[in-house]
Structure 1
Amino acid sequence: MVTAGLIHWILNMLNVTVHIRDVCVFLAPVFSGLTAISTFLLTRELWNQGAGLLAACFIAIVPGYISRSVAGSFDNEGIAIFALQFTYYLWVSAWGGYVFIINLIPLHVFVLLLMQRYSRRVYIAYSTFYIVGLILSMQIPFVGFQPIRTSEHMAAAGVFALLQAYAFLQYLRDRLTKQEFQTLFFLGVSLAAGIVFLSVIYLTYTGYIAPWSGRFYSLWDTGYAKIHIPIIASVSEHQPTTWVSFFFDLHILVCTFPAGLWFCIKNINDERVFVALYAISAVYFAGVMVRLMLTLTPVVCMLSAIAFSNVFERYLGDDMKRENPPIEDSSDEDDKRNPGNLYDKAGKVRKHVSEQEKTEEGLGPNIKNIVTMLMLMLLMMFAVHCTWVTSNAYSSPSVVLASYNHDGTRNILDDFREAYYWLRQNTDEHARVMSWWDYGYQIAGMANRTTLVDNNTWNNSHIALVGKAMSSNESAAYEIMRSLDVDYVLIIFGGVIGYSGDDINKFLWMVRIAEGEHPKDIRESDYFTPQGEFRVDKAGSPTLLNCLMYKMSYYRFGEMQLDFRTPPGFDRTRNAEIGNKDIKFKHLEEAFTSEHWLVRIYKVKQLDNRETLDHKLRVTNIVPKQKYLSKKVDKRSFIEPNIQCNFCS
């Protein structure tokens, strides 16, 4: 947001009139071009100019980066990868993935010290990087003192202290005997490491340094978030990455980048130690979390470019040399003068011209041509794949869905916009809508209605309360909804069209998040069969078949027969006939269902007058219900300002 606002301010100051919306829409594509340039510069430093050019071409079209750099993608990652690549080229700082950078560069310096590759260049570069980066990052109000008060930054500080101690010992090396230096070196390094370690423990214990976050623990223990922070584990981007995702986002580069890594290790130097550490750490983190595929993509493009560049130099370089053959030496002249001479000056048997031509026409040149053609075919396939993925997967809006018929014609599913437009036109402007947090931004932005939770809700207990309402039976859920002043409930149901991203498939995460805050009322095991299965048919758990989410999803669905091959109430997403077809509501009523049943909206009924009065009596404890039925009550007491009711306010 700061970058977009700054660009907008500069352009308008230069009398270039541009709307802030246009700046936000085209911010990511502009920075993706800068990312290609920074990748070229970094790869050129690591290998050569040809590899840099290939790396820039790769990252310009690779799906793993296109997913966050298409027009309209206004998120941190649009600028982040440019900052990351340019940081690795200049050693400065970046985004939320800054934690990755601020730990990878110190790791590089530490490994160089272990490999005894210390030099004044390393000392000056890292000292400048750490001091300048620390000061600059602390100037940002949002960051503040986090670089010196969070555990994620302690490794950088520790390596900085270790580097200063190492440099000081190197300074003393020329002024002490070998025995004195060894003793001092051992004591100095041990003392420095011990002081730093104990200081970090003490400051963390006293609360001055914040402990490691849950996301950090989830990177090392894949089951940690599911148990302790289900709200983080429920996000699809935080799931472990499948092999299909690697191939989908990187295609042939998955197979070629290990070869580039091998070439770097084979011809190691200080810079290539860094890219090797970058590759190994990024592969691990990308395997743990889908979202971190974004940090793996740049190094995969760089190393694959090195591999392709090395192959092309090996097989095309000889052809270029043959186009400019060297001047004939004296042995060739002697051969022409003495055609009968069978031996050269070294005493070896000469090959006649005809034999040399036959050798050139043999298997060797053909293999070179075949390899070159195969490399070019792989690059062409990669370009075609990237174009297809970009146009079909990453350039389509998530609000408007598209499906294809057997004859190739396309169907547009506009249920989301249809439902949001209905909310905007048919509900009070102050109406509150309860839904799962995934749709909060869309409801607020397109329907202009208040939501309880959205993508920026930091209060985990508030999200858990919504999850509890969805997981409870109708009566218990109604009490929660009345306490939150909910007017409408919106859910996503994909059983009619086979949409797998609906709320029933997300339901277990609602249960887990609710269980974390309300373990006495919600238990995940209650929603499984005795065999441990999550089923929506007749064998499903009674708790599941009577919870609010199930009833709202399958209301009137039991009467609906989708085709002649399946019975009424057949869920296409879960391939099962639902177990509860006789669903009736007491406290809710259906308000809207979109054309393909993808979005369903229910209205929360208001309490009638008798229930409202009894409810106020029960909550405020003014007069017991029995006395109210037999005696006259002064109704003015209900409007006194000191008597409040959260449920009926």
Structure 2
Amino acid sequence: MGISLTAWGGSQFFNIVFAVLILVIPFLKVDQQKAVFTTSIFVAFYLIVAAISPRPGAALILSPAGIALLGSLAFAILANVIRHYSHAFEYVNILKNTVIGLFFGAIVILSLGLLSEVSGRYLTVIMPFRRSGVPLVESVAEHFVPTGAQFFQEYLILLPFAVFGAMQLLNKRDISSVFVLVLAASGFYISGSFSRLMIFSSIAIALLAAVGFITVTSSIFRPLLTGIGKQATGKSETRTGLKIMYSLFMIVVLCFPVITPSYGYSWVLSADIPTSISNSGSTYRGHDPSFLEALTWLEGSTPEDSIVAAWWDYGYWITVMGNRTSLADNATINGTRISVLGQMFMSPEEESLEILDSLDADYVLIFLAGTKTANQQFGDLYLLGGGGDESKKQWFIRIGGFEDAEFMEPDGFSPNDNFWENSFLGRLMPFTWELAVDAENNVYQEYEFNPERTNLYAYNMKYPADGNGPLRLAFASSSLQPDAPPGRFSGVLIYEIVKD
């Protein structure tokens, strides 16, 4: 457990599990002295291993996570002492009052802001109904709040078994059952804050559903007893029909979500979604080498000390695969830097260049996606939207400190004239508005926003490779070349900053 903290901060989830479990132990009918001894060893080794590692280091001991473990252990030790010096009927009441006191004490600590060192993301996990309202946090897809439909979609078949398994464990009340219940309850609670944390609810569902499935299956396949007393014998032949029906039913039920779409995706289709780098981070299914080609070019065709200005989504790729310095990365720790990048992309050209100069940037990278069509009358036309920066501009705007209405139409997606004329991102995107069409294929060549119309754009590179600056196109993916064939495109543009 201590080693896991060195790799992923999400491992602190298990701090909650073990802290709650240790708090519950004094209420269970177990050997309290043995339980206190083993938990003391566990907590000690857990904190020591984590403390001697560079990350998280010794600060973990006095962090809220460390204090929670030490506090629960202190409560277990105190409960063991109380057990020796109090009557049996007083013991439980004293423990209950102590737990209530600790609960209200925790509320006071949270209310007074004494846990201010806890980041907004961790506080949101602890209190799922408390949303930070910070655009940077909200812009991360993994931070979206999962809905009931998502839980139902992911765990449809397993939910009945999980509920039945939880009921079985509640009846047992031994330490193993309590551990699974605490793990499950904590997993469901935590996963209610961020969609990426649904991985913890999957642990809960897997354990509870396994218990429920084994209980049901064993009861059906258990031989019937005939006879009286010691003469009772097990005969399974009388239940052969039931066993066959149950087996066939379970095969069909477990195969159902594999072959049948649920909210648009079956389990097979969901598992078939490519990794981000494989499809260049677009919303298109399938392999797209555009970003891999761009990163290969970046590593082989730019100076080793080059600094690349790009949105944080591509930071790790630029650093690891492009082997170049990125001004922001996917850790999103430096919110101030990301805010500055948002300002840079959405400010007028002159102000943006000043920001880039202050950041010592050498290149600017953007990623675009959409669909290209060939029209006999109007030539090549582009429909923008497919998971690139054209689809993320609302976060550039909000994180940069601007208002949506400054750069987007009322639909919250379509860029307005101010975006194309007065934002640096609009200048970096090699497109200009050409025409709009409606559902009846009527063409409108004078711009007027209408949510019922589809805007189409013409190719217009504002910073060509042979230009005089202030930027020059250094790299363009094949799908973003003017002579690229019609169809879906997702490509990278890298501009070199022309310096005096």
TM-score interval, normalised by the smaller of the two chains: 0.7 to 0.9
Shift of 1:469: 0.5
Superposition map of 1:194-273 within 5 A: 211-220=117-126, 226-228=132-134, 230-242=135-147, 245-246=150-151, 249-250=154-155, 252-273=157-178
**Cα 1:166–1:436 shift into 2, 3 Å:** same
| Partner residue of 1:370 out of 242, 245, 254 | 245
* SS of match in other structure, 1:232: helix
> Which amino acid in 2 is paired with 1:239?
F
Verify the 8 A CA contact 2:169 2:177 in the aligned structure 1: yes
Verify the 8 A CA contact 1:593 1:601 in the aligned structure 2: yes
| Partner residue of 2:84 out of 147, 171, 176 | 171
| Partner residue of 1:535 out of 401, 410, 413 | 413
CA RMSD of aligned residues (A): 4.8
Matches of 2:8 and 2:298 in 1, distance apart? Answer: 37
| Partner residue of 2:477 out of 586, 594, 602 | 594
Q: Over residues 351-393 of structure 1, what are the superposed CA-to-partner deviations in whole Å (9 max), with x where a residue is unaligned?
A: xxxxxxxxx99xx865553233111223345677998358623
Matches of 2:397 and 2:143 in 1, distance apart? Answer: 18
Q: Over residues 21-61 of structure 1, what are the superposed CA-to-partner deviations in whole Å (9 max), with x where a residue is unaligned?
A: xxxxxxxxxxxxxxxxxxxxxxxxxxxxxxxxxxxxxxxxx
Matches of 1:104 and 1:254 in 2, distance apart? Answer: 21
Q: Over residues 522-575 of structure 1, what are the superposed CA-to-partner deviations in whole Å (9 max), with x where a residue is unaligned?
A: 34553454x5x41315xx4735763222332352574999xx9697999xxx98
Matches of 1:566 and 1:218 in 2, distance apart? Answer: 48
> Which amino acid in 2 is paired with 1:503?
D
Aligned length: 456
* SS of match in other structure, 2:222: helix
Shift of 1:140: 2.2
Partner of 1:105: 18
Partner of 1:549: 425
Shift of 1:165: 1.9
Verify the 8 A CA contact 2:277 2:291 in the aligned structure 1: no
Q: Over residues 437-496 of structure 1, what are the superposed CA-to-partner deviations in whole Å (9 max), with x where a residue is unaligned?
A: 111222234434332222356332222211111121222212212222333221111122
Matches of 1:556 and 1:103 in 2, distance apart? Answer: 53
Answering whether residue 438 of structure 2 is matched by residue 576 of structure 1, we say no
Verify the 8 A CA contact 2:310 2:327 in the aligned structure 1: yes
Q: Over residues 328-370 of structure 1, what are the superposed CA-to-partner deviations in whole Å (9 max), with x where a residue is unaligned?
A: 999xxxxxxxxxxxxxxxxxxxxxxxxxxxxx99xx8655532
Partner of 1:126: 39
Matches of 1:433 and 1:560 in 2, distance apart? Answer: 35
Matches of 1:393 and 1:288 in 2, distance apart? Answer: 24
Superposition map of 1:59-138 within 5 A: 96-113=9-26, 119-138=32-51
Of all paired residues, the percent bearing the same amino acid is 24
Matches of 2:351 and 2:315 in 1, distance apart? Answer: 23
Superposition map of 1:397-546 within 5 A: 398-400=277-279, 412-456=287-331, 458-496=333-371, 500-515=386-401, 522-524=402-404, 526-529=406-409, 533-536=411-414, 540=416, 542-543=418-419, 546=422
Matches of 2:208 and 2:92 in 1, distance apart? Answer: 42
Matches of 1:483 and 1:328 in 2, distance apart? Answer: 89
Matches of 1:223 and 1:528 in 2, distance apart? Answer: 30
Partner of 1:22: none
* SS of match in other structure, 2:413: coil
Answering whether residue 268 of structure 2 is matched by residue 388 of structure 1, we say yes
Partner of 2:207: 302
Task: List gaps (5 residues or longer) in structure 1.
Answer: 4-75, 84-92, 331-359, 516-521, 609-649
> Which amino acid in 2 is paired with 1:154?
I
> Which amino acid in 2 is paired with 1:317?
R
Verify the 8 A CA contact 1:488 1:601 in the aligned structure 2: no
**Cα 1:213–1:399 shift into 2, 3 Å:** same
Superposition map of 1:276-291 within 5 A: 276-291=181-196
Verify the 8 A CA contact 2:404 2:412 in the aligned structure 1: no
> Which amino acid in 2 is paired with 1:489?
V
Q: Over residues 591-648 of structure 1, what are the superposed CA-to-partner deviations in whole Å (9 max), with x where a residue is unaligned?
A: 443222322425355366xxxxxxxxxxxxxxxxxxxxxxxxxxxxxxxxxxxxxxxx
Matches of 1:313 and 1:191 in 2, distance apart? Answer: 39
Shift of 1:514: 2.4
Partner of 2:197: 292
Matches of 2:245 and 2:436 in 1, distance apart? Answer: 59
Greater percentage in strand = 2
**Cα 1:582–1:553 shift into 2, 3 Å:** closer
Larger-Rg structure = 1
Verify the 8 A CA contact 2:346 2:425 in the aligned structure 1: yes
Matches of 2:98 and 2:167 in 1, distance apart? Answer: 35
* SS of match in other structure, 2:329: coil
Matches of 1:414 and 1:566 in 2, distance apart? Answer: 36
> Which amino acid in 2 is paired with 1:130?
V
* SS of match in other structure, 1:298: helix
> Which amino acid in 2 is paired with 1:480?
I
Which moves more between the two structures, 445-454 or 379-388?
A: 379-388
Verify the 8 A CA contact 2:281 2:387 in the aligned structure 1: no
Task: List gaps (5 residues or longer) in structure 2.
Answer: 232-236, 261-265, 373-383, 464-468, 481-489
Q: Over residues 299-336 of structure 1, what are the superposed CA-to-partner deviations in whole Å (9 max), with x where a residue is unaligned?
A: 22121111221221122224xx48xx769999xxxxxx
Matches of 1:183 and 1:401 in 2, distance apart? Answer: 61
